[in-house]
Amino acid sequence: METKTLGRTGLEVTRLGLGLAEISRREQAGKEVEDATRVVNLALDSGINFLDTAACYATTEELIGSAVGHRRDEFTLASKCGHAVDTSAEPWTAEVIAESVDRSLRRLQTDRLDILQLHSCNLDVLKRGEVIEAVVEARDRGKTRFIGYSGDNEAAIWAAESGIFDTLQTSFNLVDQGARKKLLGAARASDMGIIVKRPVGNGVWGRSESPYRYADEYFRRAKIMEEMGPVPGAPSTPILLATGFLFAHDVDTAIAGTHNPAHLTGNIEMVENDLPISAEAVEELHRRFDAVGQEWPGLT
């Protein structure tokens, strides 16, 4: 699988990464460990080498540690911190971050993270500085190799322009294109690695109804853009259109989330065999977003 250098980290990561929030959200209780073990090992066996999780994703970190802790040297591991988890302490404090990092290391069965990301805190929290000092301390103590910011809009732009962070994780897809106006360029100017979350917009394009409650805003946007008619040069499937749109831009890796091995295999085959899509389709999606989405914020 094709790799890119993740900004100034120097890490070589596959363009398709695996977002792991979904592996703890199983409808069939009792199969979480079995299913997580299957899908995460399949990702590694298929060549994916970038895994992304967070301290607040339920039992996800524990599932990853159980599934592939013994394969730790085969992948780049990113997690997030800042929310108060298993504690009554205030979020976005140095205390919470220090406790969160140690908890993540235990649960992930590792002695270090590759990337520790602040998890979508707002601009005021960033400017206050306490959380930045906490992740820098974690790096200085060897608990993470690099630090990053995960978020959108004005806080993400501040993080990109600050020169503090090694990586940026942000929302970017065919119905959430605000990052291409300023944010992606600011991140590149700072030599940050760029990690994209929600790369296919929660699969809303071409749907007759919103697939998830939290995707309702993306679904609303998609309906507005789709009402402009067929997209010239679009590929045969909506998911390929969304994936091709994303990878037409200068990003390093995109974290596609799934707990379904068949979906994972399909994503890998699509990225390896069906890209790029036509420039005409990409340009048309730019035009539509610019016509109706100028005020649409990035979704955190």
The amino acid that residue 121 corresponds to is C
From the candidates 57, 149, 212, 214, give the one annotated as an active-site residue: 57
Q: Residue 13 is inside which H or E element, if any?
A: strand 12-14
- The helix/strand/coil state of 231 is coil
Token look-up 């079995």 returns 34
User: Do 253 and 47 contact (CB within 8 A), yes or no?
Assistant: no
Rounded to whole angstroms, the Cα distance separating 228 from 174 reads: 14
* Known active-site residue 212: no
Distance of CA 175 to the CA centre of its chain: 16
C-alpha pair distances (Å), 53 with each of 63, 124, 129, 281 = 11, 24, 24, 32
Short-list 7, 142, 168, 8, CA closest to 80:
168
- So which residues are the catalytic ones? 57
